[in-house]
Amino acid sequence: MSSLVEDNPAQHRFEILVDDALAGFSAYEPVGDVLVFTHTEVDPRFQNMGVGATLVRETLDQVRARGGQIVPQCRFMAAFVERHPEYAPLVADQP
């Protein structure tokens, strides 16, 4: 199973393709240099295969690579960041 995570700025989401099929996405709202992640969804055909974790990990790696920050409003992403403290520096300070 090969997967690819790409930003789709027109749709305001990062998408994961598995064997060329859209397997899931993490939706965001851009606020300056901060991406507010509001929802993560994995197609039922790809659940319990690690697709969600791969999607979030690669999304966060791409955000980090371009110097951005996140607000993980999505419960799935927030739980992932909590379990993987190496991503905690990406979380923007909130007022």
Q: What is the pLDDT of residues 43-62, one digit of tens each?
A: 999 999 999 999 999 999 99
Number of domains in the chain: 1
Q: Is residue 60 part of a domain?
A: yes
Beta strands in 1-95 (DSSP E): 3-8, 13-18, 21-31, 34-42, 69-72
- Model confidence at 1, in pLDDT bands (50, 70, 90)? low
Q: How far apart are CA 31 and CA 71, in angstroms?
A: 10
Q: What is the pLDDT of residues 5-47, one digit of tens each?
A: 999 999 999 999 999 899 999 999 999 889 999 999 999 999 9
pLDDT of amino acid 53: 96
Domain that holds residue 44: 3-90
**What is the CATH classification number for the domain harbouring 64?**
3.40.630.30
Are 51 and 17 in contact by the 8 Å Cβ rule? The answer is no
Those residues with Cβ within 8 angstroms of residue 43's Cβ, 6 or more apart along the chain or in another chain: 21, 22, 23, 24
Q: Is residue 95 part of a domain?
A: no
Q: Is residue 36 part of a domain?
A: yes
